[in-house]
């Protein structure tokens, strides 16, 4: 017996010839930012995931969630950097705004080694 999905309390369900309730066609998600499907190309996300030698397999849902998380990350860090630019009454984000945001926000601390905050290039850091 197929359970009623809507929970509206209808006593009887219509069944198709196959014995299953016929579902209405789903509508594309609109409006809610969380529901928007990812903009980042999933193939590139897969390439990044494969770059980790310890990872052998990743499900499609995991790839999608990673893409969406990276997108949220970009939005978040851009907004935080913009707060710094606003304080300087500027309308163009500059590198120092990003650096300030990374230093100010604890969650961004993992970026400090990778983005050369002290002015060294990445290759210099890797050599030292």
Partner 1 sequence: MTESPEDLNFPNAVVTRIIKEALLDGVNISKEPRSAISRAASVFMLSATYWANNFAMKGKRKPLNASDVLSAMEEMEFQRFITLLKDALEAYKREKKGKKEASEQKKRDKGKKTDSEEPDKSRDEDTDEDEERLEEEQNEDEEVDN
Which residues within the stretch 44-103 sit at the binding site for partner 1 (CB under 8 A)? 44-62, 64-66, 68-79, 81-82, 85, 91-95, 97-98, 102
Count of Cβ atoms closer than 10 Å to residue 103 Cβ: 14
Nearer to partner 1, 10 or 54 (CB): 54
| Residue 30 Cβ vs partner 1, minimum distance, rounded to whole Å | 10
Residue 119 has, within 13 A of its CA and on its CB side, a CA count of 0
Task: Check binding of 18 to partner 1 (CB under 8 A).
Answer: yes
How many residues touch partner 1 under the rule CB under 8 A: the total is: 72
Tokens for 75, please give them. 């939005």
Q: Which of residues 101-120 bind partner 1 (CB under 8 A)?
A: 102, 106-108, 110-111, 114-115
Residue 63 burial (CB count, 10 A): 17
Give ∠ CA 79-111-93 in degrees, rounded to 5.
35
Q: Which is nearer to partner 1, 9 or 17 (CB)?
A: 17
């Amino acid at each position: 017996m197929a359970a009623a999905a809507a929970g509206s309390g209808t006593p009887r369900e219509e069944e198709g010839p196959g014995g299953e309730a016929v579902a209405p066609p789903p509508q594309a998600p609109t409006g809610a930012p969380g529901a928007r499907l990812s903009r980042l190309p999933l193939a590139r996300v897969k390439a990044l995931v494969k770059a980790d030698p310890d990872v052998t397999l990743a499900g499609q849902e995991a790839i999608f969630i990673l893409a969406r998380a990276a997108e949220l990350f970009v939005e978040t860090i851009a907004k935080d950097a913009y707060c710094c630019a606003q304080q300087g009454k500027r309308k163009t984000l500059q590198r120092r705004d990003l650096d300030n945001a990374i230093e100010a926000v604890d969650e961004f601390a993992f970026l400090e080694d990778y983005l050369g905050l002290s002015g060294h290039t990445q290759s210099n850091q890797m050599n030292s």
